[in-house]
Amino acid sequence: MTSQSPLFRKRLKSNAENVEAALAGLLSGEVRAGEIARPERLLAAIRHGVLNGGKRLRPFLVIESAALFGDAFAPAALRIGAALECVHCYSLVHDDLPAMDDDDLRRGQPTVHVAFDEAAAILAGDSLLTLAFETIAAPETALSDRIKTELVLSLARAAGIGGMAGGQALDLAAEKMAPDEAGIVTLQAMKTGALIRFACEAGAIIADADGATRARLRRYGETVGLAFQLADDLLDLTADAETMGKATGKDAARGKGTLVALKGQEWAERRLGELVDEAQALLAPFGERSAILVEAARFIANRRS
Amino acid sequence: MTSQSPLFRKRLKSNAENVEAALAGLLSGEVRAGEIARPERLLAAIRHGVLNGGKRLRPFLVIESAALFGDAFAPAALRIGAALECVHCYSLVHDDLPAMDDDDLRRGQPTVHVAFDEAAAILAGDSLLTLAFETIAAPETALSDRIKTELVLSLARAAGIGGMAGGQALDLAAEKMAPDEAGIVTLQAMKTGALIRFACEAGAIIADADGATRARLRRYGETVGLAFQLADDLLDLTADAETMGKATGKDAARGKGTLVALKGQEWAERRLGELVDEAQALLAPFGERSAILVEAARFIANRRS
């Protein structure tokens, strides 16, 4: 296992703190123009599902992708990263529901429907998804309306029926009939890949980069997304629940197909190495500025929790 | 009961047909740029929850509010109306879930979680909410990016924790402890009022009307929203399940407070008349062009299903 550079660790840590603060700001009790009231218990359920000290990997990718183009984009990238994290957290809150993956534990804490109730968890997720789009469009987000519109469109397509939500539907169906390799690839590209791809592409959208540059970051995001999922599948096989703070071995127990199950651990570890190399090659044109994103790919491929 | 003019009935009918067609277009199997695939069963669940021949009252209000400013806005207003209907339908699909209002029947058909399953209903709602924002931002919506951004922001604030979703949370809490009059007013303004208010204000946003005109349509929307809720509460007391195509008398059975229960049927009917007069007065500056919206207020106040 490769260890990260001190700079990378520092950036990951300060990023997580900044994102946590941004999310706490979005989830304050303050009633915004156009809102009527923020019901306390629902707000508490949302905060429970969001303000849990996560790594904030997706916002990290937004912020570091935008940083390729200069420091000026940092405040906007933090807002877009926080919006994306709202989408990610909504998906976790809903996926944990009894009718979906039925998980009681997340990051070592009771899930929202356990700590509150199912209705609160459904509404907390709904509110978070809505808040994501509100946050992109809000006047506080220092981007042009053209770029905001592009971000709303891209995030919606990554998160909706043709992306994450559709991927979760395929994942639930996979418990009944295990998909073949092509089916697993599609499922994973939708369920976890689409948001990670958006995170990396968002940096280029925020910086109004040209189409070729945007496509390059999009491919970097797809590559990192594949690595993320392979590492996740390896972890599900090998880690114990204590390390993960959530139930493990569930995919195997449910008979869900993964590429690791299909092609073996050795293949998966070799493939992870190739994906890191591909990610690095995609970033080469950015030169030294891309060192953090190269390390991010390695970090994601090697993560053990 | 007042009957509607032939013109009003014609407009309501053609509007419902246009909105149904627009929604069917949004919910086709065609995979959009940025999407990966549209899983068939999830798409079927979404279509079940949306393409059910509803009156499409909220899109009607968007389209007729925009029509105050001329015919040029009609195509964009139809898209925004369809987006708003996606939000409305998502809220019905989620509200019907066993953990929420637990309804098996809607418009005389099995609800989505009955026809499919709970997970499909949760994901169908999530997908529809996401699709609403995608539809506003999409290139096919012929509006400036500034106006699209404003619509995303206003719709999100009407639908999220400070609006509809928060209102549903208050409504579920009301089953345990009946709110006082002020509490009922807030709850209803959030749960049903906010989207109706947005529908009417959206016409002014689409047409880029000045602030005073926008505020006037917003107040018209609030007035019509109050009338809608009072009529709904009266219906819950008096209509039978066959007329409504859904369970009735449930609010009373659950001990939920309504203004009708608090102040009586006679008060409610008088108040409905006042609200129609207020709505008409608010529209007076628009002259003859507002005849349809005046009639819409009367239609909403007098509806019996």
Over the stretch A135-151, which tens digit does the pLDDT of each residue have? Answer: 999 999 999 999 999 99
User: Token pair for residue B12?
Assistant: 């309501």
pLDDT, residue A296, reads 98
pLDDT band at A2 (very low <50, low <70, confident <90, very high): low
B8 touches chain A (CB under 8 A): no
pLDDT of residue A175 exceeding 90, the answer is: no
pLDDT of residue A193 exceeding 70, the answer is: yes
Q: What is the mean pLDDT of residues B99-127?
A: 97
Contact at CB, A130 and B33, closer than 8 angstroms? no
pLDDT of residue B243 exceeding 80, the answer is: no
pLDDT in tens, B264-280: 999 999 999 999 999 99
Q: Are strands A105-106 and B109-110 parallel, antiparallel or unpaired?
A: unpaired
pLDDT in tens, A202-239: 999 999 999 999 999 999 999 999 999 999 999 887 76
The distance in angstroms from the start CA to the end CA of chain A is 12
pLDDT of residue B102 exceeding 90, the answer is: yes
Helix (H) or strand (E) holding A2: none
CB atoms within 10 A of CB A266: 9
CA-to-CA distance for A239 and A242, rounded, in angstroms? 8
pLDDT band at B238 (very low <50, low <70, confident <90, very high): confident
pLDDT of residue A35 exceeding 90, the answer is: yes
**What's the whole-number average pLDDT of chain B?**
93
A168 touches chain B (CB under 8 A): yes
Q: Where are the beta strands (DSSP E) in chain B?
A: 105-106, 109-110
Contact at CB, A34 and B136, closer than 8 angstroms? no
Q: Residue by residue, what is the 3-state secondary structure of A181-203? A: HHHHHHHHHHHHHHHHHHHHHHH
A178 against A159, higher pLDDT: A159
Question: For A101-110, A230-239, B78-87, which range has the lowest pLDDT when averaged over its residues?
Answer: A230-239
A50 touches chain B (CB under 8 A): no
pLDDT of residue B245 exceeding 70, the answer is: no
pLDDT band at B177 (very low <50, low <70, confident <90, very high): confident
pLDDT of residue B305 exceeding 70, the answer is: no
pLDDT band at A177 (very low <50, low <70, confident <90, very high): confident
Contacts of residue B33, defined as CB under 8 A and 6 or more positions apart, other chains included, come to: A157
* Nearest Cβ partner for B37 among A144, A166, A172: A166
Distance of CA A25 to the CA centre of its chain: 20
- Choose among A91, A84, A86: nearest CA to A51: A86
Candidate CATH numbers 1.10.340.30, 1.10.600.10, 2.30.130.10, 1.10.10.10; the one for domain B6-302: 1.10.600.10
Contact at CB, B134 and A145, closer than 8 angstroms? no
pLDDT, residue A249, reads 56
Helix (H) or strand (E) holding A147: helix A145-159
pLDDT, residue B112, reads 98
CA-to-CA distance for B200 and B209, rounded, in angstroms? 12
Contact at CB, A37 and B156, closer than 8 angstroms? no
Q: What ipTM does this complex have? A: 0.95
A157 touches chain B (CB under 8 A): yes
pLDDT, residue A149, reads 98
pLDDT in tens, B27-79: 999 999 999 999 999 999 999 999 988 899 999 999 999 999 999 999 999 99
Question: For A110-114, A253-257, B140-144, B205-209, which range has the lowest pLDDT when averaged over its residues?
Answer: A253-257
Any idea where the domains of chain B sit in the sequence? 6-302
pLDDT, residue A254, reads 57
pLDDT band at A258 (very low <50, low <70, confident <90, very high): confident
A246 touches chain B (CB under 8 A): no
Contact at CB, B190 and A37, closer than 8 angstroms? yes
pLDDT of residue B251 exceeding 60, the answer is: no
CA gyration radius for chain B? 19
pLDDT, residue A31, reads 97
pLDDT, residue A137, reads 98
Q: What is the mean pLDDT of residues A193-204?
A: 98
- Work out the minimum CA distance from B9 to partner chain A, whole angstroms: 32
Q: What is the mean pLDDT of residues B182-198?
A: 97
DSSP state of A105: E
Distance of CA B227 to the CA centre of its chain: 13
Sole residue written with tokens 């009301």: B174
User: Token pair for residue B67?
Assistant: 């029509």
Q: One-letter amino acid identity for A144?
A: S
pLDDT, residue A3, reads 80
pLDDT, residue A305, reads 61
Contact at CB, A125 and B123, closer than 8 angstroms? no
Adjacent-strand bridge partners of B106: B109
- Choose among B52, B164, B24, B149: nearest CA to B110: B52
In this structure, the dihedral spanned by the alpha carbons of residues B300, B149, B48 and B108, taken in order and rounded to 10 degrees, is -10
Contacts of residue A59, defined as CB under 8 A and 6 or more positions apart, other chains included, come to: A15, A19, A78, A81, A82, A84, A85, A199
CA-to-CA distance for A57 and A50, rounded, in angstroms? 13
pLDDT band at B249 (very low <50, low <70, confident <90, very high): low
